[in-house]
Structure 1
Amino acid sequence: MSRPLDTLSADLFTPLVGPGFALRGADGTALPVSLVRCDEHPRATMPGHARTAFSLDFTCPAADVPPFTGGTFLLWHEALGEIGPLYVERILPAGYAPGLAVFQIVFA
């Protein structure tokens, strides 16, 4: 069972930075990814919202990625189970090592 999205926070993901995640598509495909960044964005938080906005950046070898830019996925990790569906966007790999695909999930 998926966690309610409004209960997710950066504190939940920060200790899990590293490998062990997967993005699962509706067609059943799974893309193993590593969580490389978990950043809070206080200035982007909606007034009165209980949680601080945050973003998650994931990477994997670009050669392993089918051609797409973004879409709806379930995020999976052994400690968390499945979360989602979530909108995942492939972003430019600026600041990351060559040959990596970078994906971002934003929680406002």
Structure 2
Amino acid sequence: MAASLSALSAGLFTPVLGEAFAFRDVDGHMLAVTLARCDEHPRATMPGSPRTAFGLVFTCPADVAGAYRGGHGVLSHPALGGIGPLYVERILPLGFPAGTAAYEAAFS
């Protein structure tokens, strides 16, 4: 588990692309997701920031996600442990097959 959210970087997540994660929100709702993308955003990085801004996109079947739109919670992975609390938001599943729900966590 990372010591703090500020210590996270895209490099931590790149090796686990395509692997299963679980997201548990503050109400205890659990959603099984897959890490589909890990994108760095150098132009969005604040001057002097110790890391490059990045975003994580997680996917799952839309019928499993139901009406869940995202929120605050803890992300967990077998090798990385618990990460959070952090915020994920449901986004348009552009570039993914029909019937996919997508969620994004952004780190600046």
Task: Specify the TM-score bucket, using the shorter chain as the normaliser.
Answer: over 0.9
Counterpart of 1:17 in structure 2: which amino acid? L
Aligned residues: 108
1:21-100 residue pairs with structure 2 within 5 A?
Answer: 21-100=21-100
Deviation, 1:76, is: 0.4
Contact 2:42 / 2:53 at 8 angstroms: preserved in 1? Answer: yes
Q: Distance in 1 between matches of 2:66 and 2:74?
A: 16
TM-score, scaled to structure 2: 0.94
**Residues 96 and 104 (structure 1), Cα distance of their counterparts in 2 relative to 1, 3 Å cut:** same
Deviations 1:38-92 (A, max 9, x none): 0000000000001000000000000011313231111100111111111100000
TM-score, scaled to structure 1: 0.94
Deviation, 1:3, is: 3.1
Mark the runs of 5 or more structure 2 residues left unpaired by the alignment.
Answer: none
Q: Distance in 1 between matches of 2:52 and 2:86?
A: 18
Q: Distance in 2 between matches of 1:48 and 1:88?
A: 25
Over aligned residues, Cα RMSD in angstroms? Answer: 1.2
Percent of matched pairs sharing the same residue: 57
Deviations 1:8-64 (A, max 9, x none): 000000000013201111222211100010000000000000100000000000001
